[in-house]
Amino acid sequence: MTKTKTAAEAHPQVTLKEQMEELAAIVDRLENPEVALEDSLSLYEKGMQLVKAASQSLDVAEQRVAVVSESGEVQELDS
């Protein structure tokens, strides 16, 4: 039985900017009518993993902003 990787496990230490750039490249490839169906499906799956990872990165950033806004100082978040 194989374990499905979480978005964070699939994309360790990748910045939000890098995630967005990779997503843009995937979208460009998906818009190409020459890309085979199987390749399109693989690209779509990879893109959805990136979307999930980017969403998690944004959630963490939002939590940090909330912590800073409430207390006036930056506090480390427990991951």
Assign 60 a pLDDT band (cuts: 50, 70, 90). confident
In angstroms, the Cα distances linking 25 to 16, 28, 44 are: 14, 5, 12
Q: Is residue 4 in a domain?
A: no
Distance CA 56, CA 53 (A): 5
- 46-61 mean pLDDT: 93
Cα 10 to its chain centre, rounded Å, is 9
Give the residue numbers spanning the domain of 19.
15-71
Q: What is the pLDDT of residue 5?
A: 54
In a domain, 8, yes or no: no
**pLDDT digits 0-9 by tens, 3-28:** 555 554 554 578 999 999 999 999 99
**Cβ-contact 64, 74 below 8 angstroms:** yes
Res. 1 pLDDT band, cuts 50 70 90: very low
Residue 45 lies in a domain: yes
pTM beyond cutoff 0.75: no
Residue 5 lies in a domain: no
| Number of structural domains in the chain | 1
